[in-house]
Amino acid sequence: MPVQIAILEDHRSFSEALSMALEATGQFRCIGSASTVEALQPVLANGAVDIVVLDYQLIGPDGISSAAVVREHGFDGAFMMLTAHASPDLARRAREAGIDVVLAKESPLDEVLDALHGLAAGDTAAATMAPDDVVSLSARQREVLALMGDGLDPREIADRLFISIHTASGHVKDVMRHMRAGSQLEAVTNAIRSGYLVIPRRVR
């Protein structure tokens, strides 16, 4: 039986991309998604959900508070938080609140899948990244990633953002490191696969 997943995420494009990526494995089934914890309750009502995947920044209560609400309504499955605001402090607070796994949204898809498999097996220790390993792109790095997705090289990115070529190259290298990639193309591919970047119009 596929592992049953529910998604609590107010960015529809990310939610849809994640759902499609999970369904494509044949090992997970996304049985519903919602943008608020209130809208999630009907999805959980039949008791079939094994894991709730949720963001931290949501409409209304944040992900930590939303997880508490879901628990209060009787959910006894596992939680994974995927967030663009990952930090060691957030990871610590989330774990203390009973969220089993915290990963950055830019984490490669295979890491997300490994963590979900760990949760499905009840092995949260093996699935959880250490808080100090949780990383997140800065606002500028997200801008650079989006421009990389449009096929721009560091010089073009520098011109677009009105920064030096040296600064642009540094941002590109940082994005590649966060995406665990050896090239711009691989960084963009990893970002698309993880649902962190929409499919670009063109990739060089």
pLDDT of residue 124: 57
Q: Is the pLDDT assigned to residue 112 strictly greater than 90? A: no
Q: What is the pLDDT of residues 45-57, one digit of tens each?
A: 887 899 999 999 8
Residue 2 is classified by DSSP as: P
- CATH code 1.10.10.10 region(s) in the chain: 139-193
pLDDT at 191 over 90: no
Stretch(es) of the chain classified as CATH 3.40.50.2300: 3-133
- Residue identified by tokens 């957030």 is 90
* Residue 104 neighbours by CB under 8 Å, 6+ apart: 82, 83, 84, 86, 134, 135, 136
Residue that the structure tokens 């963590």 belong to: 115
Distance, in Å, from the CA atom of 64 to the CA atom of 22, rounded to the nearest integer, reads 23
What pTM did the predictor assign?
0.63
φ/ψ (deg, to 5) at 98: 95, 10
The correct CATH number of 3-133 out of 2.102.10.10, 3.40.50.2300, 3.40.50.360, 3.30.465.10 is 3.40.50.2300
Contacts of 161 (CB under 8 A, 6+ apart): 140, 143, 144, 147, 168
Q: Which helix (H) or strand (E) holds 83?
A: strand 78-83
CATH assignment, 139-193:
1.10.10.10
Residue 90: strand, helix, or coil: helix
Q: Report which of 18, 16, 3 is spatially closest to residue 51, judged by C-alpha positions.
A: 3
Average pLDDT, the chain: 84
Higher pLDDT, 27 or 200: 27
User: What does the pLDDT look like over 128-179, one tens digit per residue?
Assistant: 444 444 446 677 888 898 899 888 999 999 999 999 999 999 999 988 888 8
